[in-house]
Structure 1
Amino acid sequence: MKLCMLLTLALLSVELQNGVSQQVSHKKEATEARFRPGRKRIKVRYPKGKEKDVGGKPQSILTQVLDKGRFLRLGDTLSLNPGKTMELRCKGTKIGWAYPSYLDIFNDPRLSIKQHEKFGQLTLTSPSAADTGEYSCWAVLCDGEECEKDPDRTSTTYIYFTDKDELFVPSVIHFEIVYLRPDKPATVPCRVTSPKATVSLHREVPPEEILVDGSLIYYKPSKGFILQSPSPEHTGAFYCKASSTTKTTPQISTKFQLLYVEVPSGPPFATIQASQKQVRGGDIFNVTCTVLGEPEADVSFRWTFPGQEERPVNIHDSWRLINRGVRHTTRISQSVMTVDDADTIDFGHYICTAKNPYGETSVATRVNSYDQPLLNDEEGKP
């Protein structure tokens, strides 16, 4: 009897050990299956400040928020319908933004920019065709109080707000001047709200469509018509015409006046002249400072004259465009100083300093009393 019981207990022990062994084996197999090399998920970590490359090009850090939890990483261009609020995000703890400049000029309340802990946010409510343009963001690197743009983390997208009733991007300027220079391309900026629009360039007088050969003259929807080698033959009044599959009637752009410029870039070329070289007490005389230069180069004037700290004078600055030679346009800027009721204190040198974006030039002339001999000094640099 005892032997029988011992055999029963031994068999039961063996069965229990087999059961535990099988359970452990099943767990081991399940664990191995979960971590098989072919199914293992690996999270790739990139160096800080870098994004995954696609075809050798860094991915954009600029995204559009589609709805809660869904995002679209933006490429070079994006087409949206007007009216619906646009929200853009850019990854980074300190982000800089760029967008169509007129939104800043008019301090548009529709635009909102916020910096969150891990991203920057740009929101534009009720966007319209006029908001079509380039939107950019970049990471800002700071070392103490000095900050700079990170060139490796910068993204730009040109966004079209496609409006079937507005084929051209609206402008507050109804007649725009385009300056043509022989040394660089010129752009007739008739931008469109849809990259699919068909656009042509036309001259008003004589009425004709300009041949666009794709080389010397070509069209970019985000820029307009680009003239690679402008010449005097391209001067005149022009406009653009656009058509699309959604609009049966072609649309006409604002007008553009193309002016040919052949003035070298550089510091102002200035001259100075007094209305009288010799004056008597009580006389009225003027001193005029004149600069000829590029139409777009603003010129500012600064004067140094006798009695500057003691007597008031009247100074009037002005500029206008003039034609010089055949179809050449130049900007003439002038500053005129008027001295009333001349006195002894007003005799001496009058110095004009003209400044433009390229530098500054000083010229001088002398005004004498009739009691003093007239000096044969030439007007020019002091």
Structure 2
Amino acid sequence: MKLWVQLTLILVLLELQNGFSQHVKRQKETPENRLRPGRKKVKVRYPKLKEKESGGKAQFILTQVLEKGRFQRLGDTLTLNPGKTLELRCKGTKIGWAYPSYLDTFNDSRLSIKQHEKFGQLILTSPSAADTGEYSCWVILCDGEECEKDPDRTSITYIYFTDKDELFVPSAIHFEIVYLRPDKPATVPCRVTTPKATVSLHREVPPEEIPADGSLISYHPTKGFILQEPSPEHGGTFYCKANSTTKTTPQISNKYQLLYVEVPSGPPFATIQASSSEVSGGEVFNITCTVLGEPEVEVNFNWRFPGQDQRPVSIQSSWRLIHRGVGYTTRISQSVMTVEDVETIDIGNYICTAKNSHGETSVATLVNSYD
């Protein structure tokens, strides 16, 4: 009798244990957003990964349209053959685009950009090696009339249009000036149409190859040769040479004139000087406003003077590059005001304001009468 009771108790305990295990298993398998009696369905929201956390771009929204309606998501680079129409799409109801700038400069009719209901579209017909460059798109967010670029939904792809006869990306500029500054890297922009090309940098006089050590001088096929710490010794005429597996003869790029800049970046450094500080009635005098600055930075001049809007004056502006010392290049910009047949109203302060992209500077000189 005791044995029978013991067996019965063991069976009861096993059934209870099995039921408890099944109950726990059902609890684990029940998702958090499952419908339960008397409760609403709750949508689980996961936090959006930042670029560093996701291991790449936050959003991939740029695709290439292939044949038969197929799409290819684009990465950092893409290599294509020239001639075949390129169609890119970017998801979004309002899309901005960027592409090689010369397509805008020459108002190229081969380029077409349209905004559709759910995506932006870029079409480039008959692409060539010259179209090699960076193509990007981004979502534009608007709040009323104010719009801005969404950095989390931006895609950038560098596209090579590989042409076996054009190893270097063609340029309308056959002799380009590259300015060297001691405070930032400089780039010799001999870009190639295939990332597989082997490129070297050469000085014309004296003829020599400039070794790229990967540190102070490095090469990137989408940019060119990068000089991390330019110096006067890097000045001169240079060119690049490219070799590929499909051509036995190396190809030579355009020439580049490297000029070392003496004047640092900043607002204009202006001076003013009158041909005479004292004048008499009926005489002629002129005032020259001079700025020494960066070679490629344009300077605009503005004048204020005693007889303004009442007396006719002649103002002429000009600029030129000058060499100061060995290997140093500076842009000299000048504005010259000429006053003829002096009258009493012409006596007083002459103020010149020089302005560039970094700021403006005003200088003045006083013209007296010795009558």
Specify the alignment match of 2:283 in structure 1: 283
Shift of 1:297: 1.9
Contact 2:59 / 2:153 at 8 angstroms: preserved in 1?
no
Shift of 1:49: 8.7
Name the aligned partner's letter for residue 270 of structure 2.
A
Residue 87 (structure 1) aligned with residue 87 (structure 2):
yes
Specify the alignment match of 1:272 in structure 2: 272
Name the aligned partner's letter for residue 154 of structure 1.
T
The CA distance in 2 between the partners of 1:59 and 1:345, in whole Å, is: 67
Specify the alignment match of 2:307 in structure 1: 307
Specify the alignment match of 1:73 in structure 2: 73
Name the aligned partner's letter for residue 61 of structure 1.
I
The CA distance in 2 between the partners of 1:63 and 1:51, in whole Å, is: 21
SS at match of 1:58: coil
Shift of 1:257: 0.6
For residues 45 and 184 of structure 1, do their structure 2 counterparts lie closer, same or farther at Cα, with a shift above 3 Å needed? Answer: farther
Shift of 1:281: 2.1
Contact 2:59 / 2:154 at 8 angstroms: preserved in 1?
no
The CA distance in 1 between the partners of 2:45 and 2:174, in whole Å, is: 50
TM-score under structure 1 length normalisation? 0.82
Shift of 1:262: 2.9
SS at match of 1:193: coil
Residue 189 (structure 1) aligned with residue 189 (structure 2):
yes
For residues 56 and 131 of structure 1, do their structure 2 counterparts lie closer, same or farther at Cα, with a shift above 3 Å needed? Answer: closer
1:222-371 to 2 correspondence within 5 Å?
222-371=222-371
Contact 1:49 / 1:153 at 8 angstroms: preserved in 2?
no
Share of identical aligned residues, percent? 80
For residues 309 and 49 of structure 1, do their structure 2 counterparts lie closer, same or farther at Cα, with a shift above 3 Å needed? Answer: farther
Contact 2:190 / 2:240 at 8 angstroms: preserved in 1?
yes
Structure 1 unaligned runs (5+)?
Answer: 1-43, 372-382
Contact 1:50 / 1:153 at 8 angstroms: preserved in 2?
no
Number of equivalent positions: 329
The CA distance in 2 between the partners of 1:222 and 1:80, in whole Å, is: 15
The CA distance in 1 between the partners of 2:266 and 2:218, in whole Å, is: 30
1:51-200 to 2 correspondence within 5 Å?
55=55, 57-200=57-200
Name the aligned partner's letter for residue 103 of structure 1.
L
SS at match of 2:66: strand
For residues 82 and 97 of structure 1, do their structure 2 counterparts lie closer, same or farther at Cα, with a shift above 3 Å needed? Answer: same
Shift of 1:263: 1.8
Name the aligned partner's letter for residue 337 of structure 2.
M
SS at match of 1:68: helix
Contact 2:59 / 2:152 at 8 angstroms: preserved in 1?
no
Shift of 1:133: 0.5
For residues 225 and 45 of structure 1, do their structure 2 counterparts lie closer, same or farther at Cα, with a shift above 3 Å needed? Answer: farther
Contact 2:64 / 2:72 at 8 angstroms: preserved in 1?
yes
Shift of 1:93: 0.5
* 4+ runs deviating over 6 angstroms: 44-54
Name the aligned partner's letter for residue 249 of structure 1.
T
The CA distance in 2 between the partners of 1:177 and 1:45, in whole Å, is: 58
Specify the alignment match of 2:217 in structure 1: 217
The CA distance in 1 between the partners of 2:81 and 2:364, in whole Å, is: 60
Shift of 1:242: 0.8
SS at match of 1:214: coil
Shift of 1:313: 1.3
Contact 2:110 / 2:125 at 8 angstroms: preserved in 1?
yes
Structure 2 unaligned runs (5+)?
Answer: 1-42
Name the aligned partner's letter for residue 333 of structure 2.
S
**Which of the two has higher C-alpha Rg?**
1
Specify the alignment match of 2:7 in structure 1: none
CA RMSD of aligned residues (A): 2.1
The CA distance in 2 between the partners of 1:95 and 1:50, in whole Å, is: 22
For residues 248 and 190 of structure 1, do their structure 2 counterparts lie closer, same or farther at Cα, with a shift above 3 Å needed? Answer: same
The CA distance in 2 between the partners of 1:125 and 1:68, in whole Å, is: 18
